[in-house]
Amino acid sequence: MTGQVSFDSHARSVLTASVEYVNRLTPGYSGGTPYSAPTDDPESVTSAVADALTAIGYPPASRPPLDDSRRLVQLAQRMRLVFEAADARDLDAAATEINALLRDTNARPQLDRGRDRPWSLHFHGPDEQLANGWAAGCAAGLALAVGSDLAGRLGVCAAPSCDRVFVDMSKNGQRRFCSPQCQSRVKAAAHRARQAG
Ligand SMILES: [Zn+2]
């Protein structure tokens, strides 16, 4: 069985959501330039969260509440720790943080079905607040990855001046970069170095 088929569609979608939250809501570097996370400014926090929700296919009908958005930013910072620990092969640290996230978000598996849709496994209640519901799902998705042979699929970009994260869903499991842009940046630098050398 390959890694590609082992992620079911819900696990895939919560892992994709984790990546978007970490990459959009935590500071660091992105594609060679400094990346600033949304600050305490209410406008920047809620608009960053709205953008993240839109990116994962859940555009909010109205601006998300400020408290909820702030909590999601904090939880994204903790999800980043999981990616960094897994990338460093420190699975003990990754597991400790995931367990804390599962506890703090009160994640609990249950089957839900939308109208005309099949039953599927979710990790939060249907009436959960935005931040908590998503973070519970993300924590469960990360737990499924780290608790299986897919732990090595959580990564941090290997390109210089970039710390955006990714989940490697490729067949061969050799992904090292957050984006095609970072991959070609590194390729071009290696090419220049060869020519100069
Ligand atoms: Zn990158």
Domains contained in the chain, CATH given: 9-196 (1.10.3300.10)
Q: How far is the CA of 168 from the centre of ligand 1 (A)?
A: 13
Q: How far is the CA of 142 from the centre of ligand 1 (A)?
A: 20
Query: What pLDDT does residue 116 have?
Result: 83
- Closest-CA residue to 142 (of 79, 84, 57, 92): 79
At 160-193, the pLDDT tens digits run: 999 999 999 888 889 999 999 999 999 999 899 9
At 7-52, the pLDDT tens digits run: 677 788 889 999 999 999 999 999 999 999 888 799 999 999 999 9
Q: How far is the CA of 186 from the centre of ligand 1 (A)?
A: 10
Mean pLDDT of 71-96: 96
Q: How far is the CA of 183 from the centre of ligand 1 (A)?
A: 7
Q: How far is the CA of 91 from the centre of ligand 1 (A)?
A: 22
How far is Cα 95 from Cα 107, in angstroms, rounded to an integer? Answer: 15
How far is Cα 65 from Cα 142, in angstroms, rounded to an integer? Answer: 25
- The amino acid occupying position 107 is A
The percentage of the chain sitting over the pLDDT mark of 70, rounded to a whole number, equals 94
Q: How far is the CA of 36 from the centre of ligand 1 (A)?
A: 15
Q: How far is the CA of 129 from the centre of ligand 1 (A)?
A: 31
Q: How far is the CA of 192 from the centre of ligand 1 (A)?
A: 19
- The amino acid occupying position 130 is L
Q: How far is the CA of 157 from the centre of ligand 1 (A)?
A: 5
Q: How far is the CA of 128 from the centre of ligand 1 (A)?
A: 33
Question: What one-character-per-residue DSSP string does 5-73 give?
Answer: HHS-HHHHHHHHHHHHHHHHHS-EEETTEEEPPP-S-HHHHHHHHHHHHHHTT---SSPPPHHHHHHHH
Give the pTM: 0.90
Q: How far is the CA of 53 from the centre of ligand 1 (A)?
A: 21
